[in-house]
Chains A and B, each alone.
Chain A
Amino acid sequence: MSYFDEQWYLLRYPDVAAAVKSGEVESGLAHFQKKGRAEGRLSCNPGPAREVAEANKVVSARVCHFDRLYVTSAGTGLIVGWIDNRGDSIQSLAFAPYVGDPIPLGQQVLRCYRNDVIEKKPKDERNYDYGLWVLFEGLANRLPHLGGHIRAEFASGLDSEIAVAAHVVPPEEMRGRVLDAVGWPTRLPSSPIHLGKTIGPILRRLNAEVIASAKVAAPVVHGKRLRAPRLSIVIVYQRIESMLRQAALLAEVSSISDVEFICVCHQPEMASAFHAMADSAHVLYGLNVVSVSASNHLGFAKANNAAAQIAGGKTLLFLNEGVIPGDRDCLERALHVALQVGEKDVVGAQLLTEDNSIQHIGRSFKLAGCADALWCNDEVQKGMPVGQLSGDALLNVDAVTAGAMLVQRGSFLDLGGFDERYLSDEYRDSDYCLRARGAGGRIAVSPSMLFYCLESGAAFPRPPREWAVSLMDQVFFNETWRSTIENSRASTSN
């Protein structure tokens, strides 16, 4: 931390004083910051400066601290710390690795509350808990494991340079720490756009790195594999015990012996128990099951895509783990609809909640009521009494949920499947529907393809982490599809 004495500087360096007088530079401080420091000029009287430097160390401890620097070998960095700059605002923040140029961090800084900081800082009436975290990239060629300095420059001219040691973590851990950080409480919520543009892309790249490292194990076939199943039902399980509940009821529907189930475990640590349960689903309930696990969390998109690769049927039905049949012929009707589905079409189901109100009967898009004006999913008629029960007519919609989605396998794979860059599963299905439509497919709902979809007790308000991830995906979705949606709206209104 160095102290800058304007008056002393101008007296010490007459050339600078002359430059200030002529207007060539704004102030002694400006000169020091732009040139003087690099020229080796002193910022203040060395004698008293030494005392000031000692005092500054104390001040430094009160003003800012950086707890941790996490880095991955691919060059992603995460700084966690706190700053109390109410009396003196930060002008710039940068990370200077021991090797390579400094990386400016200004726009990447996100504020949060840190209750634990109160314990560390001396308590006084101005004390508060202003934390910060910064996610950044660019360390790959800078030997990230060596660490570096974090430089903060304040409006008064004070600057802080704090050495931080790097903790090298695998990408999965980094992703987990970033997801924790996005959930930290803030005084004011970050603008979704800001969150989406600063953190989103880095988090997506991190996520892709994690997913790429996950190895899908060889599928386990329980019983005999069907040669030509009429349908391949794909289900990704986050709660593996859901498989048994679904199996017990699906076992009661007609035509179940003609379909195969590709069940993917989304809890790698439960793989063994998952396969055992899949075996029960076959032994007890007669389902033709192929169970799949991976060495790491695949993400819902990749899990579904991997299952689609493995599936043997020409037609895929993606189902959510909370979907159960309401009557014995639901699958037969789904098979009938499957015969009508065109190569690139996407057909969704009518889903009901436990009180027989509509959980899903197609989606539209609407502008979210916020300043950033982002398009978001709009579940039409959700919560209304059950709609049309009869007839085979398909209803055109903008998108359908992957909770019950019928596609032709070949076309699904040709289109690239679900986009694995989405961090959650809130927009991946809408994204796929828009791609399919762009390729000439029809997006529709079949009201006769009817299931229950039981949503587990969703927390309200949503946990901050979940909300933040959803926002980032929403921003990403809008970056990709905003113009398509708006053009479509414009042509419809014309």
Chain B
Amino acid sequence: MTRKRLISIAHYHPELVRGGAQQAAYELFKGFEARPDYEPYFLAAVENSALPQLIKPQTHIFSYDARPNEFLMAVRGFDGFWQSNTALHEAGSYPGNSLWHKAGWSSVIDFLRELRPDIIHVNHTIYVGIEMLRAARVACPEARIIFTLHEFVPICNAYGHMVRTNHQGLCDKSSPSRCALCFPTRSPSDFFLRDRWFRGHFTHVDRFVAPSQFLRERYIAWGIPENMIVLIDYGRTSEGRRPAGVPAATEAHNRFGFFGQLIDSKGIGVIIDAVESLVKRGVEDFEVRIHGANLTFASEKLQQKFKAAMEQYRQIRFFGSYFNYEFPRLAAMVDWCLVPSIWWENSPLVIQEAFMARRPVLTGDIGGMAEKVRHNVDGLQFAAGDSESLADTMERCLKEPALWARLAAGIPDILTVEEAVDLHRSLCFEGPLPPPATRKLWEAPWAEKCVLRSPSLVERGDD
């Protein structure tokens, strides 16, 4: 039996840097590992500045931890605005130079050619570099290139969150002028070029995957043809799945849990303000357990606020960071999960993990969060970013005795890894691909006017 070779490329290895997108990519890779008709490989970027001890000198790609099918790619320079792996352009000098050796991207192309994958599944451009799509096409012209979108980085330079940097409001569309307002040191032409730069590389993607309908619609509005982007949520392993009917952590249902990065966009500030509001209302018999890391990446203001809140409110308890495998145990200690992100979100893994632990979720009413949590069915929605609204919702949780059981009973089963594998096979890796669009993603709207075609093109029948 000829096995299909699949290489999955991610911006981090989840064992080195924890995070949702890389976790999902890795679990999917493991899912394909279990199939006899697939031969999967995993390539993850690793930053030289973050983990220099892992970087091997004078090479760009090397195996990881003696595993035969897992590799790391050293990232020695990266430009966030262009999502460009800059060091791979600089490496190697040039022909004729006495110090010349192959440029970095040549090494990547050689690696892919050596591997001969049938499918190249790219999960991110951060640290990997958007150029990986081009390198993949050059190396393996016949391979399928699949790209999973985890956030809005190609559309939005503000960490891909689509939250305005000036007034901190939500953003629903990009344009060169609009984006320049968020980044005054950049001109509209910079953003136009950035947009074209992404689109030019995306031309080589055979299929896009969106983990949420919300994200899928945003990218369709941006310009990806509808038939080019499919909806496949993250598939999760069976570990940590609890059966329906498991009890709450407390009789009073007064324990809330936050699990995630302690950064501004995840809404930690909203939780603190909601606690303050509840205490002011005289509602004090509850607890908020905070599990997570990366507080140092939060704004100075939030760091100060967090530290002050720890001292001021006995209701808030901080438990530090956690590993994924610890989540079921930690979730069992709370009744509710809080997902108060102040950006749109795509398909937060923590919502899936909360459901797997049979815990109803309180979440903002926008974007991917609102898509994954059905109000009054398996959780509750509150006005995103509004601490008073969150406080009202939390108070409801505390004062409606039957609410928890009803919502817990409504929690759906989460997509398994096996199901995700099957969906990837049928929709992306093996099934027929959509026909190419008349106008390429990077071409201007006026490109469709056939009058632009010169007579020589008409003669060769390209009309």
Contact = CB atoms under 8 A, between A and B. Distances in A.
A257 to B, nearest CB: 13
Interface in B13-47: none
A332 B134 CA distance: 23
B188 interface: yes
A326 B94 contact: no
A251 B200 contact: yes
Contacts of A220: 94-96
B188 A252 contact: no
B173 interface: no
Nearest to B92: A276
A283 B134 CA distance: 10
Nearest to B450: A390
Q: Please tell me the size bucket of the interface on B.
A: 35 or more
B296 interface: no
Given A280-B103, A283-B105, A249 B92 contact: no
B457 interface: yes
Interface in A263-314: 272-273, 275-280, 283-286, 291
A333 B105 contact: no
A220 B130 CA distance: 26
Contacts of A354: 176, 188-189, 191-193
Interface in A463-490: none
Given A276-B94, A279-B95, A327-B443, A284 B451 contact: no
B421 interface: no
A245 B462 CA distance: 27
A455 B93 contact: no
A279 B201 CA distance: 18
Q: Which DSSP category, helix, strand, loop or mixed, fits chain B's interface?
A: helix
A391 interface: yes
B142 interface: no
B197 A248 contact: yes
Interface in A344-362: 353-356
B1 interface: no
Contact of B134 (A221, A248, A275, A355): A248
Given A278-B94, A354-B189, A386-B446, A332 B456 contact: yes
Contacts of B8: none
A286 B454 CA distance: 24
A390 B452 contact: yes
Interface string A431-456: 00000000000000000101010111
Given A276-B91, A285-B134, A327-B444, A454 B189 contact: yes
A220 B447 CA distance: 35
B123 interface: no
Contacts of B457: 329, 332-333
A145 interface: no
Contact of A329 (B135, B138, B454): B454
Interface string B171-202: 00000110000000011111111001100110
A164 B109 CA distance: 63
A324 interface: yes
B196 A324 contact: yes
B95 A221 contact: yes
Contacts of A222: 94-95
B91 A327 contact: no
B119 to A, nearest CB: 21
A456 B190 contact: yes
B442 interface: yes
A137 interface: no
Which one of A218, A284, A328 has the highest number of Cβ atoms from chain B below 10 Å of its Cβ?
A284
Interface residues of A, number: 50
Contact of A276 (B90, B138, B176, B442): B90
A460 B90 CA distance: 34
A252 B442 contact: yes
B454 A392 contact: yes
B347 interface: no
B2 interface: no
Contacts of B93: 272, 275-276
B449 interface: yes
B203 interface: yes
Contacts of B451: 389-391
Interface of B: 82, 84, 88-97, 103, 105-106, 109, 131, 134-135, 138, 176-177, 186-193, 196-197, 200-201, 203, 440, 442-447, 449, 451-457, 462
Given A245-B197, A284-B138, A291-B94, 18 more contacts: A222-B95, A245-B82, A248-B200, A249-B200, A249-B442, A272-B93, A276-B93, A279-B92, A279-B95, A279-B103, A283-B106, A324-B196, A328-B443, A333-B454, A354-B191, A354-B193, A389-B451, A452-B444
Interface of A: 218, 220-222, 241, 244-245, 248-249, 251-252, 272-273, 275-280, 283-286, 291, 322, 324, 326-329, 332-333, 335-336, 353-356, 386, 389-392, 448, 450, 452, 454-457
22 contacts: A245-B193, A272-B94, A275-B94, A275-B97, A279-B95, A283-B105, A283-B109, A284-B138, A285-B134, A324-B193, A327-B444, A327-B446, A327-B447, A355-B188, A356-B445, A356-B446, A389-B452, A390-B449, A452-B192, A454-B189, A457-B187, A457-B189
